[in-house]
Amino acid sequence: MPPGSGSPHLVLVGGGHAHLYTLRRLRVLIGRGIAVTLVTPDRFHYYSGMGPGMLGGRYRPEDIRIDVQSLAEGGGARCVVAPAERINSQARRLHLADGTTLSYDALSLNIGSIVADNPLPSDCIVPVKPIANLVAARERLLAVARSKPPHVLVVGGGAAGVEIAGNVRRLLRDRGDITLVASSPILHRFPPRAREVVLNALAESRIETVEGVSVKGWMDGGAVLSDGRTVAWDLALVATGVKPPALLGECGLPLAPDGSLLVDRFLRSTGSPAVFGGGDCITLAEQPLPRVGVYAVRQGPILFHNLQAQLTGKRLLPFNPQRSFLQLLNLGDDTALLVRNGIVWRGRLAFRLKDFIDRRFVESFAGKMSGAAG
């Protein structure tokens, strides 16, 4: 409970995709006598599905972000803008970077993930998570492009690396050169036809692809590859998969081998009934899932129900993940790649579908600060 109040205290850590559902329905929780605090490092949450499009200039930064502070405060919760730094699960306390300590009756973690294999942080070597990094990367690229055609290195051949490379090309138009380096075949987790289509799209956009090679060393303006080659860059964007944030490391709760919070089918920590989580920072003990926003969003309603149920003594609901999901990759050239259940299709209509879905999602949170229950 918050000191001096008789209400059970729910602390939401991170205003990510899995908490947005709850943030929009805070009045329901507060109406049931639950005090809620949101802890977030930034008042805005950036929607990853539109991040590459923002880098390429299709969207403005303000088009792709959700004001989670306003959602929280408009719904009657308290919002503390500071990153969570340490969880003491025994004492049920959360310590924040600004020195604040919060006691909780229930804690829900939706803190996302960070880029794996991130080299030394520098203004010119940019990890693609947090997505807000792409705002500064865009400014930097435009600044370089004013004086010369930029060399851009994209590291990582998964969906994020492909979208980033395509959208750098959109930003630079016909200037500069872009190299995409991937330690595995590009899109190796996708059907072979998707890979073929994307390799063609990258070639059409004059993006050089180097597969089966990793970056072995960084120097000022250059990267040494595992095959001995050196690639020059003015800006490097790193999209080498994700790993859980450090916050979970010393929380004293059971973790999956990759360091994410291990949860049962109720999205509850396998080590504490007071701790729940959703999105990239958890692993379902029974069924590990790919780290995609689709699952984080689908976990939202279950978290909303189970957090209330935990605090009011009701029955928890299980999260039953869907077997397959629609994948839409923005290739930066007004087309998208659509992949679902063996169907692979690239086209402008696929991009329009992605644009419609993404805009509708973000716009659904604009002006929704009163916490309607719908």
CB of 33 to ligand FAD, least distance (A): 25
- Among candidates 112, 108, 140, which has minimal Cα distance to 42? 112
CB of 324 to ligand FAD, least distance (A): 13
CB of 273 to ligand FAD, least distance (A): 22
CB of 318 to ligand FAD, least distance (A): 19
CB of 345 to ligand FAD, least distance (A): 16
Q: Please identify, using beta-carbon distances, which residue of 148 and 188 lies nearer to ligand FAD.
A: 188
CB of 69 to ligand FAD, least distance (A): 11
Q: Please identify, using beta-carbon distances, which residue of 1 and 326 lies nearer to ligand FAD.
A: 326
Q: Please identify, using beta-carbon distances, which residue of 232 and 246 lies nearer to ligand FAD.
A: 246
CB of 84 to ligand FAD, least distance (A): 4
Q: Please identify, using beta-carbon distances, which residue of 147 and 341 lies nearer to ligand FAD.
A: 341
Q: Which residues bind ligand FAD (CB under 6 A)?
A: 13-18, 39-42, 45, 48-49, 51-52, 83-84, 110-112, 128-129, 160, 163-164, 245, 247, 279-281, 291-294, 296
CB of 4 to ligand FAD, least distance (A): 24
Residue 328, strand partner residues: 338
- Among candidates 238, 287, 242, 305, which has minimal Cα distance to 32? 305
3-state secondary structure the chain: CCCCCCCCEEEEECCCCCCHHHHCCHHHHHHCCCEEEEEECCCEEECHHHHHHHHHCCCCHHHCEEEHHHHHHHCCCEEEECCEEEEECCCCEEEECCCCEEECCEEEECCCCEECCCCCCECCEEECCCCCHHHHHHHHHHHHHHHCCCEEEEECCCHHHHHHHHHHHHHHCCCCEEEEEECCCCCCCCCHHHHHHHHHHHHHCCEEEEECCCEEEEECCEEEECCCCEEECCEEEECCCEECCHHHCCCCCCECCCCCEEECCCCEECCCCCEEECHHHEEECCCCCCCCHHHHHHHHHHHHHHHHHHHHCCCCCCCCCCCCCCEEEECCCCCEEEEECCEEEEEHHHHHHHHHHHHHHHHCCCCCCCCCCC
Q: Please identify, using beta-carbon distances, which residue of 225 and 282 lies nearer to ligand FAD.
A: 282
Q: Please identify, using beta-carbon distances, which residue of 51 and 56 lies nearer to ligand FAD.
A: 51
Taking CB atoms, the residue at the shortest distance from ligand FAD is 279
Q: Please identify, using beta-carbon distances, which residue of 41 and 57 lies nearer to ligand FAD.
A: 41
Q: Please identify, using beta-carbon distances, which residue of 93 and 224 lies nearer to ligand FAD.
A: 93
